[in-house]
Structure 1
Amino acid sequence: MYFKRLLPVLLVAFAFSGCDPSPDPNRGEVVAKVYGNYLYESDLTGIVPSGTPIKDSLFLTNSYIDSWIRKRLLIRQAERNLTPRQQDFTRKLEDYRNSLLTYSYETELINQKLDTIVSDREIEVYYNQNKSSFQLRYNIVKVVYVVLPENSKEISTFIKLLTNPDTIISQAIESLAKRYATSFYIGDETWIRFDDLLAQIPIETYNQELFLRNNKFIEIDDAPFKYLIRFKDFIISESVSPLEIETENIRNIIINKRKQELLRKMYEELYEQAIRDNVFEIY
């Protein structure tokens, strides 16, 4: 058994001595000992993944044993230097157990009784009633862009499609872009951060708000490419964030409010039932 070759110096240093209690014969062979505490070979089960080379197995096992010894030494040092009162964790353990117990019960109650279906109407109503709570912290845009080779014969075609004053014919643009464009993005119905667009397109601007207010369509020559960008819409930072962006956030807020109300009712009903049953007294 290769455990016999592990940590020879440490095993000698912590060998059986004095009047320490004897190891438990039912737990198998002893691997290490610190004062009256024993580490058994069975405790090492699972430390080394199956198929690990012997060299790595020895390293992992040695590391575990060394860590165990250091921890036991620290515990021993703490026991010797802390007063009995400082070592009494009865209250803390009870509080911790109670916290785990109530958390587990609340979680199970929520899993069983919480309604997590939130309608679009509920989301819209909440949004309209709390618009001041949804403020943008960055500029956002709805945009379509196409990147073409600078010598592409289709540039004029894309310019006509992207500069249509009435609408963006996204299906036609996408169909042509798949054939002729180096890359493209059809986001005329989706809000994105303007900063994210700047990371993709070489737009130079020192005032984002001014730029967005003054540009609906731009062309950028950046050899060997031609960039055609059409802004369908924009919203400036610190404005009210649009519903489309806040939908999932609002859904989570509503579900969390339901959760808190479910727990509040549970506590209140529990307390009222206890009063009726006369199960507690206040002195």
Structure 2
Amino acid sequence: MSVRNFFRFLLISLIPLISSCDAYINRSGNNDPIARVGDSYLYWDEIATSLSDNLQGEDSASLVTNYINQWATRQILLEKAKINLSEEKLSEFEQMVSEYRTDLYTRAYKEALVNQVNDTLLTENELETFYEAEKENFRLKEKIVRLRFIELPLQFLNKDEVIESLKRFEEQDFIYLDSIGVQFKKLNFNDSLWVPSTRVIEEIPPLTLENEGQYLKNSQFFELEDAMGVYLTKVIEVLDANEIAPFAYVKPSIIQILLNRRKLDYIRKLETEIIDEATQKKEFEVFTPKE
């Protein structure tokens, strides 16, 4: 039977079943076959599991039909591949599948063991020690800035008072600015946070790559305006590209580096212990080649 005739036969024979597939699949414990290609069978439970979220409504019969057709196509092509590909190529593929299966299982098992380890907390001293030892590897790729920033509506009445408070920024200034913050279009009072200059340019449209050197300077205040609003900025500190990044800026990266190192060290130790244990139990041995 040709492939085309096979699919025509398959569809005609399945139409009565597919038209009532909702009721059939919902029967508890049903695991009857719905299709066959050679010695391979497709069961209703497989369809229900794969399409469970989409098996309601008028389209369910179409979804089941498509699923069966795709399954049958894969099975037929697989069978033809086994017949027509060379033994050498089939052997090569089987080896690749075997290695992939082994890698998949062992990787999942090692990940599960690593996730069970509870000593993943890093102390501040560990992070700072690593930073001090590796400073030269933490040079900036772009300019970063610490600043305070407010965007005002164009017709804001108390701009001068806001400017003075933003510059001075003592406790009472913060309380005042915070109390009227709902009138601002944007604000950032966290001047201990380092941000890339490109991020600042995104927030302040009149600031551009061409003019940012004029405004983004240590301890500088500037005011810019466009059709959207008034931008008030107090720059605290600027670090240029290729300078050593501050600890606070690279701390998240250091945490990730150290956790990854700890994970790799644990896996190496685990692999060594597994080999040692298997050797002691006579489950693993290496044979000396015969001369």
C-alpha deviations, 1:157-200, integer Å up to 9, x for none? Answer: 01212333xx6656235324425423322131111122112112
Distance 1:43 1:272 in 2: 42
Of residues 128, 138, 142, the one that matches 1:138 is: 142
C-alpha deviations, 1:24-52, integer Å up to 9, x for none? Answer: xx953x54343454434444223443685
- Give the superposition deviation at 1:142: 1.4
**Structure 1 residues 173 and 241: CA distance shift in structure 2, 3 A:** farther
| Paired residue secondary structure (1:55) | coil
Contact persistence 1:150–1:225 (CA under 8 A) = yes
| Paired residue secondary structure (2:145) | strand
Match of 1:201 in 2: 204
| 1:282 paired to 2:288 | yes
CA RMSD of aligned residues (A): 3.4
Deviates more, 1:43-52 or 1:107-116: 43-52
**Structure 1 residues 55 and 187: CA distance shift in structure 2, 3 A:** same
- Give the superposition deviation at 1:106: 2.5
| 1:12 paired to 2:18 | no
Which letter does structure 2 place at the counterpart of 1:10? Answer: F
Distance 2:90 2:228 in 1: 73
Contact persistence 1:136–1:240 (CA under 8 A) = yes
| Paired residue secondary structure (1:142) | strand
Contact persistence 1:47–1:61 (CA under 8 A) = no
Contact persistence 1:177–1:183 (CA under 8 A) = no
Distance 1:127 1:142 in 2: 20
Distance 2:159 2:109 in 1: 64
- Give the superposition deviation at 1:217: 1.0
After superposition, residues 41-52 of structure 1 pair within 5 angstroms as 41-49=44-52, 52=55
Deviates more, 1:193-202 or 1:51-60: 51-60
**Structure 1 residues 73 and 142: CA distance shift in structure 2, 3 A:** same
Contact persistence 2:218–2:237 (CA under 8 A) = no
Distance 1:265 1:83 in 2: 42
Which letter does structure 1 place at the counterpart of 2:154? Answer: E
Contact persistence 2:48–2:55 (CA under 8 A) = no
More helix by share: 2
Which letter does structure 1 place at the counterpart of 2:65? Answer: N
Q: Identity of aligned pairs, percent? A: 24
Contact persistence 1:146–1:185 (CA under 8 A) = yes
After superposition, residues 85-164 of structure 1 pair within 5 angstroms as 85-88=88-91, 91-113=95-117, 115-164=119-168
Match of 1:66 in 2: 69
Deviates more, 1:107-116 or 1:233-242: 107-116
Match of 2:60 in 1: 57
Deviates more, 1:61-70 or 1:266-275: 266-275
Number of aligned pairs? 265
| Paired residue secondary structure (1:227) | strand
Which letter does structure 2 place at the counterpart of 1:219? Answer: E
Match of 2:21 in 1: none
Distance 2:183 2:138 in 1: 40
Which letter does structure 2 place at the counterpart of 1:280? Answer: V
- Give the superposition deviation at 1:240: 1.4
- Give the superposition deviation at 1:136: 1.8
After superposition, residues 1-40 of structure 1 pair within 5 angstroms as 10-12=7-9, 28=32, 31-40=34-43
